[in-house]
Amino acid sequence: MPTNEQRRQAAKRKLERQLERRQERAKKRRQLAVALSAVAVVVVAGLVVLLVTVTRGGGSSADTAAATSTPPTSTPATTTTGAAPAAAALPTGRATALPATVDCTYAATAGQPASKPNTPPGTTGISTEGTVAVTMATSAGDIGLTLDRALAPCTVNSFLSLVSQQYFDSTPCHRLTTTGIKVLQCGDPTGTGQGGPGYSFANEFPTDQLAPGDAALSAPATYPRGSIAMANSGPDTNGSQFFLVYDNSPLPPGYTLFGTISDAGLAVLDKVAAAGSDGSLDPSPGGGKPNTPVTITTMTAAA
């Protein structure tokens, strides 16, 4: 028969084993909880990455460009498919006429010197009345332009200043788009889409007809066939680059309209467009160098 001391020792060992098993079970529960927590973190992180990726991938080419640190392209982005989105008609003129003269501001572009020597235009007493005829002689044929001071006096003032200084002479039209938007872009002496006159100025018509923050500023509007507009890399970054619209094109109203193209000029553009582009700028901003090279030989304004 076991003695009382032996029974006490046996009970003590049994209790110790029970305590050890309990501690082992508690340790396993803690390890399992940590493992589950780690899995949950990984799953949540994966969902976040997926959400961010889908959100970015579903944006427009303009949204994608804005999320990168690449230099401004000074180009309107084309749509990614051949079907043009529904677009509202742009107003044909200002709701309220400007005074007879206005003052303009042309600010030096920090870190972006002029691509070709020029003197910035005058800034005071700029006329808002009348139109000016400009002949854009190119290697593909002459393109007649009519600039409208009533729509965009500061833009016309800058454009005519550059014309008078032969800034556009012997420069290429570096970009043609034939899908979504249909434009020929010119005005960069470097032919890269990055050049400018060394100064910038504010948007005018139709942008200035909308209040800041208006949803219409990001909604597509129809830039009609035969219109001339300024290219830019964001609000109020106009320089020397401009684009000629040879067919109705859906674009947000953030590109200043400042004139029209003659019928003969449109016939030249139609031939250039029919030959297509080399696609060197696809998929964003779209298009590429025209397969029929277009070099501005001279640009002259009527007296």
* pLDDT for 36 beyond 80: no
Q: What local confidence, expressed as pLDDT, does residue 43 receive?
A: 34
Q: What local confidence, expressed as pLDDT, does residue 86 receive?
A: 73
Contact 245, 257 (CB under 8 A): no
Residue 211 φ/ψ, nearest 5 degrees: -75, 145
Contact 240, 188 (CB under 8 A): yes
* % of residues, the chain, pLDDT over 70: 73
CATH of 73-301, one of 3.40.50.1000, 2.40.100.10, 3.20.20.70, 2.40.30.260: 2.40.100.10
Contact 231, 243 (CB under 8 A): yes
Domain boundaries, the chain: 1-58, 73-301
Q: 203 falls in which pLDDT band (50, 70, 90)?
A: very high
Q: What is the mean pLDDT of the chain?
A: 83
- Nearest-5° angle of CA 218, CA 223, CA 228? 115
> Structure pTM?
0.75
Cα→Cα distances 88→84, 93, 219, Å:
12, 15, 8
Q: Return d(Cα 121, Cα 104) in angstroms, integer.
A: 9
What the block records as the tokens of 81 is 């498919």
What are the pLDDT digits (tens) for 212-260? Answer: 889 999 899 999 999 999 999 999 999 999 999 999 999 999 999 999 9
Per-residue DSSP letters for 124-140?
A: SSEE-SSEEEEEEEETT
Contact 156, 131 (CB under 8 A): no
What are the pLDDT digits (tens) for 136-169? Answer: 999 999 999 999 999 999 999 999 999 999 999 9
What the block records as the tokens of 301 is 């304004």
| Residue scoring higher pLDDT (12 or 235) | 235
Q: 76 falls in which pLDDT band (50, 70, 90)?
A: confident
Peptide bond into 235 cis (omega under 30): no
Evaluated on CA atoms 74, 266, 158, 174, the torsion sign reads: positive
Q: What local confidence, expressed as pLDDT, does residue 7 receive?
A: 59
Q: What local confidence, expressed as pLDDT, does residue 213 receive?
A: 87
Contact 170, 297 (CB under 8 A): yes
Q: 106 falls in which pLDDT band (50, 70, 90)?
A: very high
